[in-house]
Amino acid sequence: MSERERRPDDHAAPFEAAASEAGTSQAGTSGPDGRPDRPVELPRLGVRGSLRWVWRQLTSMRVALLLLMLLAVVAVPGSVLPQRPVDPAAVAEYVRDNPTLGTWLDRLGFFDVYASVWFSAVYLLLFVSLIGCILPRTWAHLRSAGARPPRTPRRFDRFAVRDEAVVDAPAEDVVRAARTSLRGPLSVLPRFRVDTGEEPQGVRTVAAERGYLRETGNLLFHLALVGLLVSVAWGQLQHYRGQAIVVEGRGFANAVTDYDTFEAGTAFDPRSLVPFTMTLDRFTSEFTPDARAVDFTAEVTVREPGDDVRETTIRVNHPLRVGGAKVFLQGNGYAPEVVVEDAAGEVAFAGAVPFLPEDAVYTSRGVVKVPDVSAGDQIGLVGYLLPSAEITEAGARSVHPQPLDPVLVLTVWSGDLGLDDGIPQNVYQLDESGMDQVLDADGEPVTLVVRPGQTVDLPEGLGTLTWDGLPRFVALDLRHDPSLPWVLASSVAALLGLAVSLFTPRRRVWLRVVPSDDGRTVVRAAALARSDDLGLAAELERTMTAVRALGEVPDARATGGHAQTADDVPESAPLGKA
Amino acid sequence: MDLGELSHLLAWGATSAYAVALVAFAADLATLADHAAQRRRPAQERVGTFAGVSAGPGVVRPTTDRAAAGGADDARPLPRRAAAIAVSVTTVGLLLHTVSAVLRGLAAGRVPWANMYEFTLVGTLVAVATFLALVRRRDVRFLGTIVLGLTVVALGVALVGFYTPARGVEPALQSPWLVIHVSIATIATGLFTVAFAASTLQLLKDSREQGSSRLAGPRWRALEMLPSVRELEALSFRINAVAFVLWTFTIMAGAIWADHTWGRYWGWDPKEVWSFVVWVVFAAYLHARTTRGWGGRRAAWFVLVGYATVIFNFTVVNLLFQGLHAYSGVS
């Protein structure tokens, strides 16, 4: 955020306020920021007075500073403790491992820091403070839009940066040259605001000031932050987001029921979902020999209502825009296509079952649930898919994510899958409570090792399993957030305002143009900046170069002026009262 | 030897050069300290007095900064051979460093800032380049000890602890935003480093001037030769202002990239949390500077705390915290 200066309507103030940076004391009850920085004595004015006192405290710079520091501190726990919106399983594990502490942390909102009461309180108070400070300053700044540079000081010898020249040109020309140079090439947005004046005996003065945009940028930055907060909040109300797993060759329709998970803001209307459909035609992946991912591409066909069918791709970093939403490629894996025939030889299950990859070489875990057996117990097959299997005495493992030698390693369960109770179940987990694992004669679980195209017999005459193919699946993340353009616009405005407020120099330049009897003109100039300003000397030089171009008389010094010595210049403070 | 290995060797070469320069900069500070002891007229012989503040007799024509440095009224300029050597060696180091970074990029076939080793390599490159660029504009050679000290430590840690052979990046990193987001973050980090050096010296010098017993000894005499506390503060502020704007941009560019890749622009990932904390601390710094009673020393402490959060964000968050920004390349 930017510096805040004294009341902008007090036009001379900002430069004097700089003195406080130099460590000198400053009178008055208002700080350089325009906020009261001394606690006001508690007035005995009852409720209204107290409220006013609270308001003044809240909008004071000191409290804003404390709130900023507090904001930095309260943001930290969210990076240390697991957060429920990100990883609910990690939170559950933490609470299990630390029962007492975990319960208390949970009660105090530490597992959802950024939605907690205390975090919200800090940033909302900060924004209230910001608005309370910025709005009055915005009015003041608008009122002072036509402010003029301060009058030319009587003496220049107090200023550290000053210059003097004698030119062979009339005073009129000198003033015009200085004015043109100071205003710069852009007449719409002059670099300096320039006033010319006249003093007795034909003496002309030029007073110029730049840096009015500094406060403009400062206000723009802070107002843009408010805009950002409002945009984000509005987006929270309007957005929706859903995840869906789509297997190669299968389709997906944009309806709440077709998502595996779906969440939306309170102002979201499910009827507003654009009913587009999408088919995953093909998914390709590319890996280095040492199993590092190089590229993922999902080829899809999209049908939007009232629109032509189009074929397109979704890649990491290249989401698909469709129906007002963006579709992200969030994950991928294998979905082995299996057919299970039950003991009676009836097809009890046929389909592609997504196996979720658990590591970099796509060792994937999955469950085949076979509830629809014609007779006998229901069947559950649990195990791993190894895309490039390496089977040794020690066991089986995958060595590469590509399906070079895919193998399914499954154990078999029989009993009641628990699907008939009407309670939603995780499709990737087997509810073992009503199931028994099929064991061999030694009491070890029976393990099936299946390769594509093979048909194997299930133990205990349960039936057969055929592995027909190995399509890929993609995990898609669909999101719609109408606030995005506003969030972006606010951010860009904030950045712009910040840069303008920090990099706009505040400078004043004065010239006193004295015609002398011999037709020449003596030009004295001085420049003043707010705090240290490296470019100040160059600024004055630019103007004086334009003046000298009129025809400088070398080695001619103004006579009758008083001697200027270094003693006149306060070394520590190039800033004087104008 | 392939390009990656050559780059690795050159990085070691640059580190060695910086170590030599560090010694020379330290020797220069010792010279300054001796000089301060011999002639206790610190006000007129400070190095790096800024134009616009220095005032010779007579009419002051606008001068360049270099002319003002060294003290116009000091007939016999202080010979600073060690500092001259240090700057030369640093320049050589920067050359090796630059070639190393470029070769690394060529070897990997992408921009050379996709893992911790590379980020440190380029971040320190920016810090040293910023420092040398400042030295060209005015005499800030006194910052050399701190900037190069930090650089040597960072490069050493990166070469020993973070090194990983050059290779391509995973799909999530294949984006033009890798070039924009990370390069600006690197530059901002380099600038924060230089500003940190200035603020540290500001605090040390201020403490000495206020009669701190710990800093009263002759070992700290070189502080007398530095620009005034106020000038150090102004220098730190200027660099921090640029770095803060770049950091703001880094966060925004990161949010745009996150929206493209992860489908949300902000998700309180540990890296995002700490980037936010860095931003808030430096925002507090900018406000503190203009709040009465919080300027000067207190504001300088914000810079130190802010820099600590920058370093924490880069090291601890990358290496220990679980998050989406898991690109350290360190296993």
Given this model, what pLDDT does residue A29 score?
39
Write out chain B residues lying below 8 Å of A22, CB-based: 230
Q: What does the alpha-carbon distance between residue B198 and residue A224 come to, in Å, rounded to a whole number?
A: 31
What is the pLDDT averaged over residues A476-501?
Answer: 94
How many contacts (CB atoms, under 8 Å) link A and B?
196
Looking at the partner chain, which of B167, B228, B273 has a beta carbon nearest the beta carbon of A79?
B273
Taken in order B259, B261, B264, B266, the sign of the CA dihedral is negative
What are A207's two structure tokens? 């007073």
Query: Which of B46, B49, B50, B53 is the best mutation test for A, with the most CBs of A within 10 A?
Result: B53
Write out chain A residues lying below 8 Å of B245, CB-based: 495, 498-499, 502-503
Q: Which of B188, B98, B197 is nearest to B140 (CA)?
A: B197
What is the pLDDT averaged over residues A434-453?
Answer: 87
Is there a single domain that holds both residue A481 and residue A510? no
**For A41-199, where are the E strands, in sequence order?**
161-167, 193-199
Side-chain half-sphere of A200: how many Cα atoms within 13 Å? 1
Is there a single domain that holds both residue A138 and residue A21? yes
Q: For chain B, report the end-to-end CA distance as a whole number of angstroms.
A: 25
Q: Considering the domain boundaries, does residue B331 fall inside one?
A: no
Q: Reduced to 3 states, what is the DSSP secondary structure of residue A161? A: strand
pLDDT class of A555 with cuts at 50, 70, 90: low
**For A337-441, where are the E strands, in sequence order?**
337-342, 347-352, 356-357, 364-370, 378-386, 389-392, 395-398, 407-415, 435-437
Is there a single domain that holds both residue A46 and residue A105? yes
Q: Considering the domain boundaries, does residue B327 fall inside one?
A: no
Q: What does the alpha-carbon distance between residue A317 and residue A336 come to, in Å, rounded to a whole number?
A: 27
Q: Considering the domain boundaries, does residue B57 fall inside one?
A: no
Classify residue A57 by burial, with Cβ atoms within 10 Å: 0-12, 13-18, 19+: middle
Is there a single domain that holds both residue A171 and residue A206? yes
Given this model, what pLDDT does residue A473 score?
93
Report CB contact under 8 Å: B276, A75.
Answer: yes
Give the range of the structural domain holding residue A448, as residue numbers without chain letter. Answer: 338-465
Q: Considering the domain boundaries, does residue B246 fall inside one?
A: yes
Note the pTM of the prediction, 2 decimals.
0.80
What is the pLDDT averaged over residues A27-47?
Answer: 55
Is there a single domain that holds both residue A543 and residue A558? yes
Report CB contact under 8 Å: A537, B52.
Answer: yes
Number of neighbours of residue A195 by Cβ within 10 angstroms: 16
Nearest CA in chain B to A28: B292
Is there a single domain that holds both residue A27 and residue A121? yes
Is there a single domain that holds both residue A194 and residue A285? no
Report CB contact under 8 Å: B59, A4.
Answer: no
CB of B270 within 8 A of CB of A79?
yes
Query: Which of B287, B297, B303, B316 is the best mutation test for A, with the most CBs of A within 10 A?
Result: B287
Closest-CA distance of chain A to residue B169, Å: 7
Q: Considering the domain boundaries, does residue A80 fall inside one?
A: yes
Q: For chain A, report the end-to-end CA distance as a whole number of angstroms.
A: 28
Write out chain B residues lying below 8 Å of A261, CB-based: none
Q: Considering the domain boundaries, does residue B134 fall inside one?
A: yes
Is there a single domain that holds both residue A353 and residue A318? no
Report CB contact under 8 Å: A20, B292.
Answer: yes
- Interior angle at CA A210, CA A206 and CA A216, nearest 5: 145
Write out chain A residues lying below 8 Å of B294, CB-based: 62, 65
Nearest CA in chain A to B261: A317
Place of tokens 């160059």: A538
Given this model, what pLDDT does residue A200 score?
86
Report CB contact under 8 Å: A65, B58.
Answer: no
Looking at the partner chain, which of A65, A316, A574 has a beta carbon nearest the beta carbon of B284?
A65
Distance of CA B145 to the CA centre of its chain: 11
Q: Reduced to 3 states, what is the DSSP secondary structure of residue A68? A: helix
3-state SS track over chain B = CCHHHHHHHHHHHHHHHHHHHHHHHHHHHHHHHHHHHHCCCHHHHCCCCCCCCCCCCCCCCCCCHHHHCCCCCCCCCCCCHHHHHHHHHHHHHHHHHHHHHHHHHHHHCCCCCCCHHHHHHHHHHHHHHHHHHHHHHCCCHHHHHHHHHHHHHHHHHHHHHHCCCCCCCCHHHCCHHHHHHHHHHHHHHHHHHHHHHHHHHHHHHHHHHCCCCCCCCHHHHHHHHCCCHHHHHHHHHHHHHHHHHHHHHHHHHHHHHHHHHCCCCCCCCHHHHHHHHHHHHHHHHHHHHCCCCCCCHHHHHHHHHHHHHHHHHHCHHHHHCCCCCCCCCCC
Is there a single domain that holds both residue A373 and residue A454? yes
- Interior angle at CA A538, CA A555 and CA A216, nearest 5: 145
Given this model, what pLDDT does residue A84 score?
87
Q: Reduced to 3 states, what is the DSSP secondary structure of residue A351? A: strand
Report CB contact under 8 Å: B321, A79.
Answer: yes
Is there a single domain that holds both residue A165 and residue A278? no
pLDDT digits (tens, 9 = 90+) for A228-268: 999 999 999 999 988 999 999 988 888 888 888 888 888 88
Report CB contact under 8 Å: B260, A534.
Answer: no
Given this model, what pLDDT does residue A30 score?
42
pLDDT digits (tens, 9 = 90+) for A355-410: 999 888 899 999 999 888 887 788 899 999 999 988 888 778 888 999 999 999 99
Looking at the partner chain, which of A33, A541, A566 has a beta carbon nearest the beta carbon of B290?
A33
What is the pLDDT averaged over residues A561-573?
Answer: 36
- Predicted confidence (pLDDT) at residue A11 exceeds the cutoff of 50: no
What is the pLDDT averaged over residues A161-181?
Answer: 91
Least confident of A6-15, A156-165, A221-230, A300-309: A6-15
What is the pLDDT averaged over residues A139-150?
Answer: 88
Average pLDDT, chain A: 83
Looking at the partner chain, which of B52, B262, B269 has a beta carbon nearest the beta carbon of A536?
B52
Q: Which of A300, A355, A372 is nearest to A467 (CA)?
A: A355
Q: Which of A359, A365, A257, A328 is nearest to A474 (CA)?
A: A328
Given this model, what pLDDT does residue B321 score?
77
Is there a single domain that holds both residue A24 and residue A44? yes
Pairing mode, if any, of strands A193-199 and A447-450?
Answer: unpaired
Is there a single domain that holds both residue A311 and residue A354? no
Q: What percent of chain A has pLDDT over 90?
A: 41
What are A217's two structure tokens? 């940028």
Q: What does the alpha-carbon distance between residue B257 and residue A66 come to, in Å, rounded to a whole number?
A: 32
According to DSSP, the residues that pair with A327 across neighbouring strands are: A320, A478
Report CB contact under 8 Å: B256, A488.
Answer: yes
Report CB contact under 8 Å: A491, B255.
Answer: yes
Given this model, what pLDDT does residue B29 score?
86
Q: Considering the domain boundaries, does residue A1 fall inside one?
A: no
- Predicted confidence (pLDDT) at residue A116 exceeds the cutoff of 80: yes
- Predicted confidence (pLDDT) at residue A577 exceeds the cutoff of 80: no
Give the range of the structural domain holding residue B192, as residue numbers without chain letter. Answer: 3-52+82-320
For each successive 10 residues of chain B (331 residues), what is the average pLDDT? 87 94 90 74 46 37 40 56 91 95 90 87 91 87 90 93 81 80 90 92 91 81 84 91 96 91 87 94 92 85 96 86 66 54
Closest-CA distance of chain B to residue A34, Å: 10
Instruction: Quote the number of domains for chain A.
Output: 4
Q: Considering the domain boundaries, does residue A578 fall inside one?
A: no
pLDDT digits (tens, 9 = 90+) for A80-90: 898 888 888 88
Write out chain B residues lying below 8 Å of A83, CB-based: 268
Nearest CA in chain A to B55: A566
Given this model, what pLDDT does residue B309 score?
96
Report CB contact under 8 Å: A479, B295.
Answer: no
- Interface confidence: ipTM more than 0.90: no
Instruction: Quote the number of domains for chain B.
Output: 1
Q: What does the alpha-carbon distance between residue B230 and residue B297 come to, in Å, rounded to a whole number?
A: 10
Using CA atoms in the order B246, B248, B251, B254, what is the torsion angle rounded to 10 degrees?
Answer: -50
